[in-house]
Amino acid sequence: MMYISIFIFLLMLLLNSMFKIASFLRLGIPLLYALFVSILFPDFVQEHEILATAIFLAMLGLVILSWVVTIRKKILRKREQRQYEQI
């Protein structure tokens, strides 16, 4: 019985760290989608594999777009700060 509780503890620790990393990288919603759809709706995923994959890839595309927007804003902010310091 002790091994089961240790296993559950390690599993929870792994899931916690996985979700922290995913939320830092803004991958929380796609990760939840991948977990819940495959667990709760396996028949749907099997019958509509292309649709499920397209939804997941669209979510990943939006995440990548948010990364690009954030990087662009940081670059513009640094340029404005350099121009302000030069004046």
Q: Parse the chain into domains and list their residue ranges.
A: 26-86
Q: How far is it, in rounded angstroms, from Cα 68 to Cα 35?
A: 26
Output the CA–CA distances (angstroms, integers) from residue 82 to 2, 68, 78, in the order listed: 59, 21, 6
pLDDT at 26: 93
Instruction: Give me the residue label for tokens 């995923």.
Output: 45
Q: Report the chain's C-alpha Rg in angstroms.
A: 20
pTM score, whole prediction: 0.78
pLDDT tens, 3-47? Answer: 999 999 999 999 899 889 998 999 999 999 998 999 999 999 999
Give CA torsion, residues 35, 38, 44, 49, to 10 deg: 100
44 contacts 37 by C-beta, under 8 angstroms: yes
